[in-house]
Every structure is written in structure tokens, then in C-alpha cells.
Amino acid sequence: MHAGLRASGPKADLALVIADEPASAAGVFTKNVMAAAPVAFCKAALAASPSGTARAVLVNAGQANAATGAAGAADCEASAAALKAALPAASAPGDILLLSTGVIGRRIKLDALAAALPALVSGAGPGPADAHHAAVAITTTDTVSKAAALEVELAPGGPTVRVGGMAKGSGMIHPDMATMLAVLTTDAAVAPPLWASILRAGAAASFNQITVDGDTSTNDTVIGLASGKAAGCGLMTSEADPGVATLTAAVTALLQGLAKAIAWDGEGATCLVEVAVAGAESDADARQVAKAVVGSSLVKAAIFGGDPNWGRIACAAGYAGVPFPPDALNITLGPIALMSAGQPLAFDEAAASAYLKGTAAVHGTVAVGIEVGPGPGAGLAWGCDLSYEYVTINAEYTT
Amino acid sequence: MHAGLRASGPKADLALVIADEPASAAGVFTKNVMAAAPVAFCKAALAASPSGTARAVLVNAGQANAATGAAGAADCEASAAALKAALPAASAPGDILLLSTGVIGRRIKLDALAAALPALVSGAGPGPADAHHAAVAITTTDTVSKAAALEVELAPGGPTVRVGGMAKGSGMIHPDMATMLAVLTTDAAVAPPLWASILRAGAAASFNQITVDGDTSTNDTVIGLASGKAAGCGLMTSEADPGVATLTAAVTALLQGLAKAIAWDGEGATCLVEVAVAGAESDADARQVAKAVVGSSLVKAAIFGGDPNWGRIACAAGYAGVPFPPDALNITLGPIALMSAGQPLAFDEAAASAYLKGTAAVHGTVAVGIEVGPGPGAGLAWGCDLSYEYVTINAEYTT
């Protein structure tokens, strides 16, 4: 709903996710030293719940409540108290989680927030329109809202569970906007420690593999709630339980969908860039190489310019911090092989440039393929190109 | 001299530094897995000299001799053999060091290089004009050549030594140009292991503290030669010897001057940005924070836009990977305090913006000051702003 928290405009700016009964809760948070007050609040809340569950996630856009000191922490406590008054079911320790996005250094407008909560609680519903409104409310300078859902059988003929999520983010940091938030829900039955492990694995393969500008914000938060309401779904408590691998794959796929939506909506982007690395010693090594390439300003600028610049790709792979034999490096751009065994190929430069320009024309996906050896490790990373518009957005905006 | 190695134009493209007698030699090299053939050649040469000395450094611009496989290594051997024929004094193992800069994936034009060497050797001289010509010959897309020299007494009334150097570089990687090279000479008398240690310390506080775009090239190399020819300068062999601290400070100052010249000439830069961090637990921690801030695309774009965006500076300091108490963070921009004790101050935004725009107008230095606590650690890093011109240079250039 619109609570009047944003500096301007009638856009919705407050969203609430309610679990009808206590849901297994987990979170993944920014590692920034200057982490915002709601990040500290969530960490404390997750630790405070004896059962590892939560009931409500409140998300505001407009003020990041970062660099706000003791006053920011007090604002979190006051926000939670106001929500508890409007939603008495969420009264146990750790039941309420708070996420904020908006301008760093600004405190939340507590009066407007408290005044809006009763209507927000009474208006909450389970329909697709409700979910869409929430996904819109948490955006800041995003050009589109991001939400996804899927349904999967945990085993053939076995219980079917649903996973849904929403996210916001368009630069790793916006013009003073802090930044990447996501809320994930599922009706699978999964014990809190295992749920936390699944969420971490999914985030590692998705949100931790996107970069728009290399900046890690003060507010990055992913929250997951698992209700256990799926028919016939027995409680999963260990990695070895049936269905856990499928649920992990489903969560990862959903988070990757949201992560790609964020990268695609990167500031000034004309295309999504997907870098796939294979042949590394481990998946972690492959992901590290993929992220270095997709984060290289020179690679990003070359893609914007329609330049099939294999040298920059090779160089970025080389400085990723992962050792590999230089003469094992193979690089492809879409369907075109650029480099083999560590040395450039004579490729059709016009066709390669046409591939880049044609992809950008439809705001599509540029695919970069990299092999670094014969190992089993593979990984993906996503980003976007570097355009004039990125500089415009980040230079011409004034605090 | 002009040897015809560059793709176009009559600009000089081959430089030679000769030591009249064996000089203590040391090098600092890129950590890129895809390191160029001349990097491997230099490392082997330094290891091959029983006395730890060298006689000649040959630098070519035009081809980086990177991603050239076995052929590139053979070209290095052939280049060194040709130089040995033209300069018989450099016949001992490890006497010759090779540096290359230019397009990745291109082999050196061996015939042109070999044909030019006799004239290059016979024309070499000790004068300032010779040094200037060498500094120009090693540049690629640099807009200015970079050279500096200083003279210092190792102790009051003690021996006087000279330190001189030249460097090239304007992005961490140019449009396919690989990239940062520097050659340093001194007439101080210093044993090879100690000289290597002094050179590493100087590079850590200078070239390792600049960033234009975060990309680490395949060819980055710093070579130092110490002749021992200074009158009255006894051989220094240990960190504790008199004069070592002064020599280290002199080398560091000279390398910092060259490093700042590279950052100031960064692609598309309108100003040099100097970030000074104090109050860290160690100098290494302080340098790490300074480098994260000066490398943030968002900070760089804000400076280009004349935006005193303390939030981006605080956020970049926070993700540098160095723990500090958030409420200890102080930030200044030139003479203006922006943030104190982890929270924003009410500052004169118009004056802060005028400081940025006025500095850019004269292509001057923007000074960012950061305190992260009460510790003794301090460090500097240098970079430049992020402008439309950076995108133009790196997107519109086509391989």
C-alpha cells in the first residue's frame, strides 16, 4: 500500500508478508560493515525465536535506515511494536522481520508507518494481485517489479510444493538507494536449520552471482519463510531426506530467476550478460571466474559497444584469483568460438558483433562461455553491459 | 626510437635501458594467470642470474605478446638473442629483461625489432632527452608520458643517491592494451635481495594502490636496476643498514609520483582522486579501505557528477573487507566534513559540489579523507572519476 514514506509520488511503499502460522525462517544478509539497522534487527530476531520461526516480514521503501545509529535501531523496535499491535498473532520473540530500502542516512517516517499498519494488515490477501502489489511496493528505481513462483513434485507422485518470491534491485547500489531485497515463501515442510542451509545454497548460486557495479550495499537481505502447509509433505530435517535435493533445486531456480531479473534491470543495461564457466576444479572456483568476467568494466563496455573482445574476457578470467593452465582457456560468445587453448581464433568479427548488437536490440541475453580446464566444476554469473546511461544515472543524480 | 612495431603512425615504439655495469635487478609482476610471455621471461631471467644483476631492459609498444603460447616464449628468446648480438656486454645469464605492451594476442614483429636494435644500442645516451624519448616510446593510449627523478642524501652530509623512473598506463587495461609498465633506476649500492624488498615495498604503496577500472592486466611489470655508482655509497645489504629507510622512502615517493600520473591520466578522467584512510589497525587495512573507495564505480560517477555523495563513500568503506566500528567512521571531502561518528553531518552541499566541479575544471586532485577508528594504520590510494568518455573509449574502440 501507499503509506506516504517515499519522498514523492503516490507509488506504494509498504509491503507485508504474513504467515498464517509460524513458518520456518531464515535469512541471508549483507557483509557490509555499515549494515543498516533492519539488518541487525533481523539477525537478532532470527536468533531470538526459540522455534526458529517467524510470522511477518514488513518491507518499506523510501528510507534505508542505514547510517542512522542508535536512533535507527530504536526505529526498528518501534516499527515492530506498531506491527505487533496491529497483528497480535505476531507476538512471540522473533516473529517480526523488517527490511528497508531507500536513501541511506534517512530515518523511517515512523508516524506514517504506524498509521498505515492496521489497513495494511486487514487488507492483506492471498491472491496474485496482492503479491503483485507487494512486489511493486518494494521497488525503488527499478524499472520493473520482480516476482516469480513455481510448483514442483518433491518425488514422482509425491507431495507437491510451491515456492514463490519477490525481489527488488537495479544497481548493487542505486543513487543512494540501498538496495537488493528479496522475500521467498514456500509451503514445504522444512526444519529451520535445514531451511537456512537451503536458502544459503540458493543465494550463493543466484544473488551472490550477480553484479551490476561491484558495490555491496548496506541493506542486502534475503528472507525465506517455509510454512509446511503442502499436503502430504513430511518435515524435512536433514540434507539426506527425500525431497531436499529437489526443494533446493527449486529454491535455487526461483532465486536465479529473480537474480537474473535484477541484473537485466541493471542501471543503464541494454542486455543481460550470462557467463557460464566449466572445467574448473570446483563449482566455487567456476563461480569466482564467472563473476570476475561479468564484473569487468572493460568486458561490460565492450559488450555495450558490440565489440567481441576476447582479450578482455581472457584477462578478467586470468585475474579472478583461480589458478588454471593458460593453454586450457576456451572462450565462446553465443555460438561463436573466439579463443581455443589459450590463443585467439580467426573468427568472423562481423558476425560476432552482429550477435552482440542484435541481442541488445531486443534487450536479450548475451551468452559468454568459458572453459578453464578438464575439471568437474561449473558455475554461472549474471550482469549487464556498461552504457552511457549508467554514468548518467549515477553522475547526474544529486544527493 | 621508431622501429615500426606499432600498427600505425611514426611514434617511437622501442626503448632500451642500459646499465654500464651489472646492476642489482628486481621485478614486481602481474598475478594474472594469463601473464604474458615477457613476464615469464623476466621472472626466469631474474632467477637465472647468479649475481642477481642485469644489464639491459628492452621495452616494446605495439604488441603485448600475451595469449601467444609457445610462439610468444620463442619470440622472447629470439628478441633477447638479437639484443645480445647488438650489445655483447649483456651476455651473462639473466642480463636481459623484456617488457611488452600493446594488443593482446599479437606476436612481436621480430624482424623489425631485430633490424632496429643496432641503431638503438649505438644511439643510447645518458641525457634528459634520451630519457624523455624512452618514456614516450613505451606509451600506448596514454595522453602524456610519465617520468620522474629525485636526488636524496641517505644521511645528513652522507652520500647522495639518485632515483629515476618512467612508467606507462592509463587504464588498468587499455582497449586491448596491456598495460602498466615501469622501469626504475638508481645509483645507490644495494644488494639484490634487499633491492627486491625495497622495490616490493615501494610498489605496494604506489602501483598496487591505483585503480582506473579494477582490471589487472596480463603484462603489468615494474623493473628496478641499482648500479651502486653513487659516490661514497657503501653497499647496503640489510634492512637495518644506514640509509635503507631513506632509500625506501625515496623509491616509494618516486613510484607514487608515477602511479599518480597513471591514475590522473586514467581513461576519460577529469580529475585525480586521492583517498587517505587513517585510524585502521594496520597500514595494510587502511590501504585496503582506501582502494575499495577509490575503485567504487558509484563513488567515481558521483565525483564526475559533482555530487558530494558521502553515502557511497561510507558504503564502499564498509564492504572493503576490513572490520571497523560503524560509529567510528568520519569522512571529509577536501576541507568539508561530510560524516562524523558514522552519521551524516548537515554540510554545505553547494560548497562541496563546487569543490568537486572546481577541481575537475583544472584537472586537479579531489581529496577524500576517511577515519575508521583510533588505530595507527594509514594508507593512500589513487584513482579517477568515471565519465562518459570512459565508456566511449572502451565501447567504441573495436578490436
Q: Which of A143, A87, A94, A153 is nearest to A119 (CA)?
A: A87
The answer to whether residue A7 sits within a structural domain is no
The answer to whether residue A319 sits within a structural domain is yes
The answer to whether residue B8 sits within a structural domain is no
What Å distances lie between residue B45 and B26, B42, B93, B94, B123, CA to CA?
Answer: 10, 5, 7, 4, 25
Do B100 and B228 lie in a common domain?
Answer: yes
Q: Cβ separation of B326 and A34 shorter than 8 Å?
A: yes
Report DSSP state, residue B235. Answer: P
pLDDT cut 70: percent of chain A above it = 97
Q: The pTM is what? A: 0.86
The answer to whether residue A8 sits within a structural domain is no
Asked if pLDDT for residue A332 goes beyond 90, the answer is yes
Give the count of domains, chain A.
Answer: 2
Q: Cβ separation of B397 and A304 shorter than 8 Å?
A: no
Asked if pLDDT for residue A175 goes beyond 60, the answer is no
Give me the mean pLDDT over the A355-374 stretch.
95
Q: How far is A322 from chain B (nearest CA, A)?
A: 8
- Considering B230, B264, B298, which residue would you say is the last residue of a domain? B264
The answer to whether residue B358 sits within a structural domain is yes
For A16-69, the pLDDT digits (tens) are: 999 999 999 999 998 889 999 999 999 999 999 999 999 999 999 999 999 899
Tell me the residues of chain B between 39 and 58 that have a Cβ less than 8 Å away from chain A. Answer: none
Q: Are A311 and B34 in contact (CB under 8 A)?
A: no
Higher pLDDT, A102 or A14: A14
Q: What pLDDT was estimated at residue A266?
A: 86
Calpha distance A265→A139 (Å, rounded)? 12
Do A81 and A185 lie in a common domain?
Answer: yes
Do B210 and B322 lie in a common domain?
Answer: no
Q: What pLDDT was estimated at residue A399?
A: 47
In Å, how far from its chain's centre is CA B344?
A: 35
Nearest CA in chain A to B218: A315
The answer to whether residue A120 sits within a structural domain is yes
Contact B220/A at CB under 8 A: no
Nearest CA in chain B to A301: B395
pLDDT confidence bin for B399, thresholds 50/70/90: very low
Dihedral class, residue B286 (left if φ above 0, else alpha if ψ from -120 to 50, else beta): alpha
For A384-399, the pLDDT digits (tens) are: 999 988 888 878 754 4
Helix B69-86 with B110-123: angle, nearest 10 deg: 30
- Considering A264, A297, A331, which residue would you say is the last residue of a domain? A264
The ipTM of this complex is 0.83
Nearest CA in chain A to B388: A388
- CATH number of the domain within which A387 lies: 3.10.20.340
- Considering B229, B264, B299, which residue would you say is the last residue of a domain? B264
Do B27 and B172 lie in a common domain?
Answer: yes
Q: How far is A153 from chain B (nearest CA, A)?
A: 40
The answer to whether residue B9 sits within a structural domain is no
Classified as helix, coil or strand, B138 is coil
Q: How many CA atoms lie within 13 A of B130 on its CB side?
A: 12
pLDDT confidence bin for A206, thresholds 50/70/90: confident
The answer to whether residue A152 sits within a structural domain is yes
Do B259 and B293 lie in a common domain?
Answer: no
Q: What pLDDT was estimated at residue A45?
A: 97
Give the nearest partner residue to A67 out of B68, B217, B343, using CB atoms: B343
Do B19 and B108 lie in a common domain?
Answer: yes
Q: What pLDDT was estimated at residue B397?
A: 57
pLDDT confidence bin for A10, thresholds 50/70/90: confident
- CATH number of the domain within which A142 lies: 3.60.70.12
Contact B353/A at CB under 8 A: yes
Q: How does A63-100 read in b/e, with b if 16+ C-beta sit within 10 Å?
A: bbbbbbeeebbebbeebbebbbebbeebebebbbbbbb
Q: How far is A215 from chain B (nearest CA, A)?
A: 7
CB < 8 Å to B331, chain A: none
Q: Cβ separation of B315 and A396 shorter than 8 Å?
A: no
For B190-248, the pLDDT digits (tens) are: 999 999 999 999 999 888 888 777 777 888 899 999 999 999 999 999 999 989 999 99
Domain that holds residue A276: 272-396
Do B221 and B312 lie in a common domain?
Answer: no
Number of neighbours of residue A333 by Cβ within 10 angstroms = 23
Nearest CA in chain B to A64: B311
Calpha distance B76→B82 (Å, rounded)? 10
Give the nearest partner residue to B326 out of A33, A307, A329, using CB atoms: A33
